[in-house]
Amino acid sequence: MSVTTGTLDTTLAPPSSPEPGPGSGPVRRGRPVASTAALIGKKILGALFVIWAAASITFLIQSLLPGDRATLLLNQQTGQVQERSAEELAPINEQFGFDDPLLVQYVTFLGGLLRGDLGTSYTLYQPVTTVIGDQIVPTLVLTFTALAVAWALAIVLLLLTARRAPWVSRIFSGLESAAAALPQYWLGIILLVVFSLWLGLFPVVSGSGTAGLVLPALTLGIPLAGFLAQVMRAEFERTLDEPFVLTARARGMSDGGVRLRHVLRHSLLPGLSLTGWAVGAQFSAAVIAENVFARPGLGRVLVTAVNGRDLPVVCGVVMLVALVYVITNLIVDTAYILVDPRLKEAA
């Protein structure tokens, strides 16, 4: 009887949801691992494609700009704009490979990238990696300081204004939208004029000190804070109505304690999902802030290279910005795949 019943149960069970058996466990456990690896592999391939595309675009920019590169470089070195003879240009063409076919130059360029070689600066005669490496630390410090400022401002705004009086929410929602739309270059000039020139609270030339970091960090952090607060506000207000929040209030927890201990951590996820984009955006925007506040970093390197037509340095900075975007987004995407089972199932 038991054998017959077991046969009937197996026959009547829906094909889409089979009964667990001795052999089914390992197969079902293996599926998420395989799908996770496949999804992470797709992300890595996509990241490599973006890096290759950025490298190819920078090469084309370097190669197809009007004017003979050897002539431009020699005129820049001598400070004289004039036609140059083939004998004068030959050493430069040989040194930088300007006379090689375009395909050969492209393969050489990609090969250098694979070795971590971005070429040699036309004006400084130093490896581009050295030129960038000497100035990347101030840019990274500004990037992550601005990111911390943005998160701090966004969290304070949410804790103090979400689900308050209707007029309070409307006013601060409008301020968040306005802050998110602020052009960073314009905001930096306003902060510089008001707090450095008029009030004298901060140095006009930022330098590398702590005081010189405040205004550039606010320049980058305020627009991002407005955007993060906008993204997280809806989730924050929705979480305020969750049963576990109502239970915490019923047990006598203060409003501030409920917001800080229970609601905030559940509303951070939408903002955290943008972390990869935010790091890349702040890193590239740091170039703007460094020039507004005369702060050392890659921004000044880039402007000097653009003014001097030092194309390898320009391309190196552009490639670095693209690499930061790709790596940070890849890390965030991979973390989400590992912790969110819904993404594993979707794969």
Residue 127 lies in a domain: no
pLDDT above 70 coverage of the chain, percent? 84
Residue 323 lies in a domain: yes
Question: Taking a C-beta distance cutoff of 8 angstroms, is the pair 216, 293 a contact?
Answer: yes
Give the model confidence (pLDDT) of 26-48 as tens digits.
444 444 566 777 777 887 888 88
Residues 192 and 289 in one domain: yes
Residue 14 lies in a domain: no
| 7 compared with 194, residue with greater pLDDT | 194
pLDDT, residue 14, reads: 46
Residues 170 and 265 in one domain: yes
Residues 165 and 111 in one domain: no
Burial class of residue 13 in the structure, from the number of CB atoms within 10 Å of its CB (0-12 exposed, 13-18 middle, 19+ buried):
exposed
Domain count, the chain: 2
pLDDT, residue 95, reads: 75
Q: How confident is the model at residue 141 (pLDDT cuts 50, 70, 90)?
A: very high
CATH of the domain at 199: 1.10.3720.10
> Half-sphere exposure of 321 toward its Cβ, with a 13 Å CA cutoff?
20
Residue 51 lies in a domain: yes
Give the model confidence (pLDDT) of 235-290 as tens digits.
888 888 788 878 888 888 888 888 888 788 878 878 877 887 888 888 888 888 99
pLDDT, residue 193, reads: 93
Where does a domain end: 96, 121, 146? 121
User: DSSP 3-state assignment of 120?
Assistant: strand
User: DSSP 3-state assignment of 112?
Assistant: helix
Q: How confident is the model at residue 81 (pLDDT cuts 50, 70, 90)?
A: low
- With a cut of 90, say whether residue 188 has pLDDT above it: yes
pLDDT, residue 339, reads: 58
User: What's the whole-number average pLDDT of the chain?
Assistant: 79
Residues 155 and 231 in one domain: yes
Residue 282: alpha-carbon gap to chain centroid: 7
Give the model confidence (pLDDT) of 84-117 as tens digits.
777 777 887 777 777 788 888 888 888 888 887 8
Residue-range definition of the domain harbouring residue 325: 134-343
Residues 114 and 174 in one domain: no
